[in-house]
């Protein structure tokens, strides 16, 4: 009997230790970074970034070759039937874009790199690419529901068979885009595509 209790204690202790895990604290994800190929100029990298973002259907808001900046306007997240779109990376992001009104904004910085050299003073090295993707979700206040039969009126004044987004002036005043933070998976995918484009 005493041996069984000891075994149960050891199993419980092992289970407790395993449930604690060995995870480190979550770090804040930063921008996806990569070095440009040595033969690529800053201008080539900026135009490659433009081509990649345009191919992913992001509308370009700012393109500055001298500063090395490409910024997009917000793009609504792709739905499951939009097979030609590729702005959802990963299962969670795909599900979220299908269930919520999601939009993403991409900002790419191409920075020239220099390092100190003893012989020549400064030595030019390949430029670096930094990509940040900001994600936002639409927050739409609901209407009060008088009963179960009017549940379809939670967000709109549409019919039970046809849903449309007709908001009241009060709802429109309270609509807002909530910041969800970065999307590091999409940022890494964009950087990977830019690198691939520069190699061809």
CB 91 within 8 A of CB 77: no
Query: Using one digit for the tens of pLDDT, what is the confidence trace for 88-140?
Result: 888 888 888 888 889 999 999 998 765 544 555 544 557 888 999 999 998 87
User: What is the C-alpha separation between 128 and 137, in angstroms, rounded?
Assistant: 30
Q: What is the mean pLDDT of the chain?
A: 78
Q: Length of the chain in residues, anyone?
A: 200
Q: Mind listing the domains of the chain with CATH numbers?
A: 29-138+176-200 (3.30.530.50), 141-174 (no CATH)
> Which pLDDT band holds residue 38 (cuts at 50, 70, 90)?
confident
141 CB neighbour count, 10 Å cutoff:
14
What lies within 8 Å, CB to CB, of 43 at 6+ separation is 65
State pTM to two decimals.
0.69
191 CB neighbour count, 10 Å cutoff:
20
């Amino acid at each position: 009997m005493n041996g069984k209790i000891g075994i149960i204690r050891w199993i419980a202790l092992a289970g407790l230790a395993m449930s604690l895990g060995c995870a480190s604290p979550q770090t804040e994800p930063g921008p996806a970074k990569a070095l440009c190929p040595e033969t690529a100029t800053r201008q080539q990298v900026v135009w490659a970034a433009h081509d990649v973002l345009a191919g992913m259907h992001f509308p370009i808001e700012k393109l500055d070759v001298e500063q090395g900046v490409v910024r997009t306007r917000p793009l609504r997240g792709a739905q499951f039937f939009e097979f030609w779109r590729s702005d959802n990376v990963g299962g969670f992001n795909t599900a979220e874009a299908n269930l919520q009104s999601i939009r993403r904004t991409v900002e790419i910085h191409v920075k020239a790199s220099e390092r100190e050299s003893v012989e020549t003073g400064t030595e030019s090295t390949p430029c670096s690419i930094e990509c940040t993707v900001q994600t936002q979700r639409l927050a739409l206040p609901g209407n009060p529901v008088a009963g179960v039969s009017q549940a379809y009126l939670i967000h709109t004044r549409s019919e039970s068979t046809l849903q449309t987004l007709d908001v009241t002036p009060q709802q429109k005043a309270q609509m807002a885009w909530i910041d969800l933070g970065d999307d590091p998976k999409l940022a890494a995918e964009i950087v990977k595509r830019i690198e691939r484009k520069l190699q061809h």
